[in-house]
Structure 1
């Protein structure tokens, strides 16, 4: 993601096809992981797998037709965690109401993407805060992955967290998967995440471990997928709680997507079209029964493989549709196979810390608050709010008022109102 690429007209169909396949296998774990996370929100995993596949295919097609960019769109890791653990479990929305929050947030994201607001925000928001958001969500996923692997547990009265039972067969299975997946990733094996999941699932089946697989899904259940379509519940849309939730998710979608696309696309002239395709996909995903879609960081694997145009995303979109024929295998996938993927994905997102200027404390401290408060509070919105509010305070204290824009000050004020509103809910 750090390299700059030029997306020119010299298209090699074979290269684009290979790049699309590479990107698909790099991100295909989302077909398994997303339903497992949304299951904790109450959405049946056996049905949300269809929502994951169809929303990903739609996002890739939109990226092909609108932006002609080699970027893969899928339900976002981190965004799905916000949907489940903040909106549903913390704020007590039903999953139908959480889909409504996603729909309104997607609409606001669309407005930003198709107006000069996108450029205004891109220029006004400090890079340190953008990187802090990605790193903070990454840290949140690290904690989530460790919990699903049972490597950490509640520390009770002695500490916040404690080490899990290392003698447990399931914990040992998760450690095996973590080592295997890490080796495959570091060796740059295409589809390494998927290979790790498959090998671990087979081992769990052979050992007859009680793995509590995520779901039992088959293509015959496709007819029941309609139960997830257009299930948005807009009751309470004008309540303070709903508005706070919409604001938080909108900020995540607008700025996380902005940071991801800027990192993936070296050609800034294509950013606007890709951003709009992303926004349209995010808006549609809520009506399809899943948390919002975003640009997948794993798109970088396809770009590094030579992907330069939308043919890469088109290939990946077709692969998502073909994956429908393999979903019965999901019933054999345990949490122990999924947890390492979540953990490593979170660690990769935390690489963004390296992009923050650690020599300027007025830049680093607001980003630091975002990074630590997201996992410690279990709320992405809380981390965002404290970071955005702290930024102008730190800059004024450091005598660096020139680094503040009116747009940023307004956003900081809105985040402050969000914190006040959250306290009153």
Structure 2
């Protein structure tokens, strides 16, 4: 039955290999449960609700892509878009998290509608490669900054915006020690390195009194409690400009990030024909994220781990999803994990994301300068969308200035105008 449903032999794999690949994917991406819940907590979502939402959304997303697209992709709340949700939409724009979840739901519906049309291919082809890579790099710098802030390595300065944290602060020292441990595991290619780093960082904090054990005795999360949290969306601000700016922002990020990631992952398994269905599954999964209480899902970068381990079919992603569901039993332990253990993971992920800068061609200023603006503006404005806007607006302007306006497709001009509208609406809101 399994062989026939997933066409195992056709993909040149076997059931054991697929299950093992799913396990590898899980241990490389399971850190998202803690990290995503921590970021959502900054938006006001109770930590345990954030953990449960991350677990159930990842479970459903993995099942969707496994059964619908039959690909080894892992769909989880995305790093970067969760930062957009918390630090831009909630903290920056002032929407309560309930209304931000409603924006996630509506943006997911729009992206789903797009995914079932030819617009997906048009948009993917319209985005210059330099800007595709710049977005990833900029998000990497933003996540690094968030990690350094959580770890106390950077603080608000007295005479400057930022300053170096105090090395006499035990929290800073624990962060640095955890970073050293996690980096050692990572460069040694230890399987599940980020998860092990979080575990050892937590143990280190416990050893030196940096662990909050106040919730350690609590029982596992009550499903009734989480059941009352599901569908906590609020559409009270649906008539406001700020709400629709949030929706537009989420659409842009979810659309562009997924298009780039899924294209690359389909190339890894040499099945570009599966792009459409995989993107559709990711879009529908983003709708479920709003209902279940988290920021939108994406096809995670860590999907590459399962692919590298031999995963070729949806059985890999379904295995990962089932493991996500089983992790709900250890929520009390997850709640005890300190920010000094989470911060290093954010910094390392950020470092991995900036490697895309090598793909930007620096022989034409009309290409690299818009990319530079995006890279710089995302962390400096703490807004992924505003950073993207700088690059997408500058790109056609520089092409026009150098007489290369014909090389810019009409879709790129439309996107630039949408970003200009985004700035105008944001200011008006």
Q: TM-score range by the shorter chain?
A: over 0.9
Where has structure 1 moved over 6 Å in runs of 4 or more?
212-217
Q: In the alignment, is the contact (CA less than 8 A) between 1:217 and 1:331 conserved in 2?
A: no
Once the two structures are superposed, what CA deviation does each residue of 1:199-239 show, in whole Å capped at 9, x if it has no partner? 11112112222559899864242220023211111122132
Is 1:14 paired with 2:8? Answer: no
Q: In the alignment, is the contact (CA less than 8 A) between 1:134 and 1:350 conserved in 2?
A: yes
Corresponding residue of 2:203: 202
Corresponding residue of 2:4: none
Is 1:176 paired with 2:177? Answer: yes
User: Gapped runs of 5+ residues in structure 1?
Assistant: 1-6
* Aligned equivalents of 1:208, 1:194: Cα separation in 2: 21
Q: In the alignment, is the contact (CA less than 8 A) between 1:140 and 1:378 conserved in 2?
A: yes
* Aligned partner of 1:276 among 273, 277, 280: 280
Root-mean-square deviation (Å)? 1.6
* Aligned partner of 1:89 among 81, 88, 91: 91
* Aligned equivalents of 2:324, 2:338: Cα separation in 1: 21
Could you tell me how far 1:118 is from its partner in structure 2? 0.4
* Aligned equivalents of 2:114, 2:50: Cα separation in 1: 28
Is 1:232 paired with 2:236? Answer: no
Q: In the alignment, is the contact (CA less than 8 A) between 2:157 and 2:163 conserved in 1?
A: yes
Q: In the alignment, is the contact (CA less than 8 A) between 1:46 and 1:217 conserved in 2?
A: no
Q: In the alignment, is the contact (CA less than 8 A) between 1:154 and 1:162 conserved in 2?
A: yes
Corresponding residue of 1:4: none
1:162 is paired with a residue whose SS is: strand
Q: In the alignment, is the contact (CA less than 8 A) between 2:221 and 2:331 conserved in 1?
A: no
Question: 124-133 vs 138-147, which deviates more?
Answer: 124-133
2:286 is paired with a residue whose SS is: helix
* Aligned equivalents of 2:181, 2:84: Cα separation in 1: 28
Corresponding residue of 1:407: 411
Alignment of 1:76-115 (within 5 A): 76-115=78-117
Corresponding residue of 2:6: none
Q: In the alignment, is the contact (CA less than 8 A) between 2:131 and 2:392 conserved in 1?
A: yes
Q: In the alignment, is the contact (CA less than 8 A) between 2:13 and 2:310 conserved in 1?
A: no
Question: 405-414 vs 217-226, which deviates more?
Answer: 217-226
Q: In the alignment, is the contact (CA less than 8 A) between 1:36 and 1:214 conserved in 2?
A: no
* Aligned equivalents of 2:114, 2:219: Cα separation in 1: 39
* Aligned equivalents of 1:66, 1:264: Cα separation in 2: 16
Q: In the alignment, is the contact (CA less than 8 A) between 1:139 and 1:347 conserved in 2?
A: yes
* Aligned equivalents of 2:154, 2:215: Cα separation in 1: 20
User: Gapped runs of 5+ residues in structure 2?
Assistant: 1-8
Is 1:320 paired with 2:324? Answer: yes
1:262 is paired with a residue whose SS is: helix
Q: In the alignment, is the contact (CA less than 8 A) between 2:211 and 2:336 conserved in 1?
A: no
Could you tell me how far 1:242 is from its partner in structure 2? 1.4
Instruction: State the TM-score, normalizing by the size of structure 2.
Output: 0.94
Corresponding residue of 1:382: 386
* Aligned equivalents of 1:40, 1:65: Cα separation in 2: 34
Could you tell me how far 1:399 is from its partner in structure 2? 2.4
* Aligned partner of 2:296 among 288, 292, 301: 292
Instruction: State the TM-score, normalizing by the size of structure 1.
Output: 0.95
Once the two structures are superposed, what CA deviation does each residue of 1:271-305 show, in whole Å capped at 9, x if it has no partner? 11110010010111100011111111011111111
Corresponding residue of 1:242: 243
Could you tell me how far 1:249 is from its partner in structure 2? 1.0
Aligned residues: 418
1:287 is paired with a residue whose SS is: helix
Give the direction of change, closer, same or farther, for the CA distance of 1:19–1:99 in structure 2 (3 Å limit): same
* Aligned equivalents of 1:258, 1:220: Cα separation in 2: 35
Alignment of 1:54-133 (within 5 A): 54-133=56-135
